[in-house]
Amino acid sequence: MTKNNRYLFPVAMVIGIGFLGSLPLPGSVMASGEPLEISLICDGSGEVSDTETSYNSNYDRKDHDTKTSTSQTIVKRPFSGTAQVDISGSLARVKLPKAMLPPISAGDDGWFTVRDLQVSDQEIAGKIHINFLNKPKVEIDRRSGVISIASGLNSFEGRCELLEEGEDGRKF
């Protein structure tokens, strides 16, 4: 570097870093450029995986003995419930319906952080990590208000409405 431009490199780095720091994170703002700040309440229904145990007894006339056996089957159980969604800039979280919560989960009182959040004019999407087996996709159609939370184990579909609270947090 020459004497005249030895200070240009650090200045260019600071300007470049400042420019990168001013770029919004993916999904952090709406297409209009405004940060998204919303709370949604979503009523709907879905299915959860469950196990059903059957006990069988068969009397063997030849041996004069009763044979017992058990079998387990995975079944889908329907439920109705309510989910909540909070979005604040580049952060989002989802509160799942109680029926979707397993005994062991990574959530905070039913709330789960949305990962890989993507926000567009048409859709809000991401993933939540319930536990090591269950990582459902969350998709909200911004035009119809339909929410879908689905994995191989559970599913929930409902309609979302903007949650408008009074100044003290109450609806009425």
pLDDT in tens, 66-80: 888 888 888 899 999
Residues 156/44, Cβ–Cβ less than 8 Å:
yes
Residues in contact with 45: Cβ distance below 8 Å, sequence separation at least 6, in sequence order? 78, 79, 80, 81, 156, 157, 158
Report pTM. Answer: 0.70
What confidence score (pLDDT) does residue 126 get?
Answer: 97
- Give the range with max mean pLDDT: 4-8, 111-115, 161-165: 111-115
Report helix, strand or coil for 52.
strand
Where is pLDDT greater, at 169 or 64? 64
Q: Where does 5-123 have alpha helices with state H?
A: 8-22
Q: What is the mean pLDDT of residues 25-29?
A: 43
Nearest C-alpha neighbor of 113 from the set 132, 126, 99, 103: 126
Where is pLDDT greater, at 112 or 2? 112
Using the predicted structure, report yes or no on whether residue 166 has a pLDDT greater than 70.
Answer: no
For residues 145 and 162, what is the distance between their CA atoms, to the nearest angstrom? Answer: 9
What confidence score (pLDDT) does residue 109 get?
Answer: 84
Banded pLDDT at 27 (limits 50, 70, 90):
very low
**Which residues partner with 162 through β-bridges?**
40
Residues 38/89, Cβ–Cβ less than 8 Å:
no
What confidence score (pLDDT) does residue 82 get?
Answer: 96
Nearest C-alpha neighbor of 40 from the set 82, 108, 5, 86: 86
What confidence score (pLDDT) does residue 172 get?
Answer: 65
Using the predicted structure, report yes or no on whether residue 61 has a pLDDT greater than 50.
Answer: yes
| % pLDDT > 70, the chain | 76
- Of 6-20, 41-55, 85-99, 153-167, least confident by mean pLDDT is 6-20
Q: What is the mean pLDDT of residues 26-37?
A: 60
Mean pLDDT of the chain: 80
